[in-house]
Amino acid sequence: MTMTGIKTTGDQPAVGVFALQGDVAEHERVLTALGARVSKVRSGSDLEGLDGLIIPGGESSVMDKLSRLLGLAPAIQSAVADGLPVYGTCAGMIMLADRIANPITGQQSLGGLDITVRRNAFGSQVESFETSLGVDEVSDKLVHAVFIRAPAVTQSGPEVQVLTRVETGEPVAVRQGNLLATSFHPEVTGDWSFHRYFLERIVAARG
């Protein structure tokens, strides 16, 4: 069947949102509106039965500490290795990166994406900005993007596909295998292009 532009067979995809910290409710609203079955992920057991996972924007260092303290980090790493589609936005991109150029002391990442990211690459909170980006693989229209203390990709491996860059040249949306990441916050813009794209990839993986 078709619902809000997502072609599926059988049940709608079950998508979890990493819920230890960050923009959880915003992602839940978009995913629900697009027809997904949404649940919060706070422990490894919450990953069971999911077709996909979103790691939201927030404080990447806090996410890292809490996910390791509560045992969620190794569970996500195992799920990624098993092919679970995962989409990281802003801090979520940092969590999925193999390397962080400027981590705080002791900060780690989940890894999976062969990229190096720089935290707060575009400045502080007061230097947040909005722009429109061409992302041919995701939408035939310009994608509205909001950058809030956003990271940028400074280096990427040969298996990483850069989906779009900002005018100054930094990659801000990338994909590698089952992983997708953006520097910006699509959950706050009203532009659901990336969420729809992620759900379509989940449906394709299930098929």
Active site residues per annotation: 90, 185, 187
Tokens of 122: 């575009």
Q: Which residues pair with 179 in a beta bridge?
A: 86, 176
Check if the beta carbon of residue 173 is closer than 8 Å to that of residue 88.
Answer: no
How far apart are alpha carbons 95 and 108 in whole angstroms? 8
Q: Pairing mode, if any, of strands 152-156 and 143-147? A: unpaired
Segment 77-84 long-range contacts (CB within 8 Å, at least 24 positions apart): 77/110, 77/111, 77/112, 79/47, 79/50, 79/53, 80/110, 80/112, 80/178, 80/179, 81/112, 83/177, 83/178, 83/205, 84/47, 84/50, 84/51, 84/52, 84/53, 84/178
Q: Is the dihedral of CA 194, 122, 90, 22 positive or negative?
A: negative
